[in-house]
Amino acid sequence: MKCLSINYLQAQMKRRAGFTLIELLVVMSILAVLLGALANKYSTAEQNKRIIKVDNDLKVIATAMLQYEQDSLTASLPSTVDELLEGLPASDSRDGQAHEYISLKSRGDEADKLVDPWGNDYVIDVNSRTVSCTPKDIFKQDLPTVKLEF
């Protein structure tokens, strides 16, 4: 049986004190996979949150459009969301009172304009009686247009 000297053992331990390149690469690969999975989960949740906001905004806009049409002297529809935000002046109203349809402050929005979660305006088509927007995916590519008839 061979007898190992203490100096030999100390030398071996000094050489093995750090991590090898392969060990570091394995750990970095595992971390990259975990971060990729978390990023994918986060982006999906964020996309779902935006789609829910679009759905709610379209319903609010469609309801406001119908109310505007009923209150208007000429029974006309506004062509932009900005007209809904401004409201109907008393001079154009059937009952002679000013009407407010969408209040951004009561919704908790800090912006002065109602836009979709991607920063684009909602599109109102008075002829087909629809309000729509075009969502974007995580790569900023257009997804199919979301429409709501009123």
SS3 7: helix
pTM of the full structure: 0.67
Taking only the tens place, the pLDDT of each residue in 87-115 is: 888 888 888 888 888 887 766 666 678 88
CA 40-46-52 angle, 5° bins: 135
Query: Does pLDDT of 4 surpass 70?
Result: no
Domains of the chain, residue spans: 22-149
Once rounded to an integer, what is the mean pLDDT over residues 136-142? 75
pLDDT at 102: 87
With a cut of 90, say whether residue 28 has pLDDT above it.
yes
Mean pLDDT value across residues 117-134: 89
**Percentage of the chain lying above the pLDDT 90 cut:** 23
- Give the model's pLDDT for residue 138: 67
Strand blocks (E) in 38-139:
123-125, 130-133
Residue 110: predicted pLDDT: 65
- State the average pLDDT over residues 38-55: 82
Asked if the model's pLDDT at residue 6 lies above 80, the reply is no
Q: What is the CA radius of gyration of the chain?
A: 30
Nearest to 148 by CA among 47, 56, 62: 62
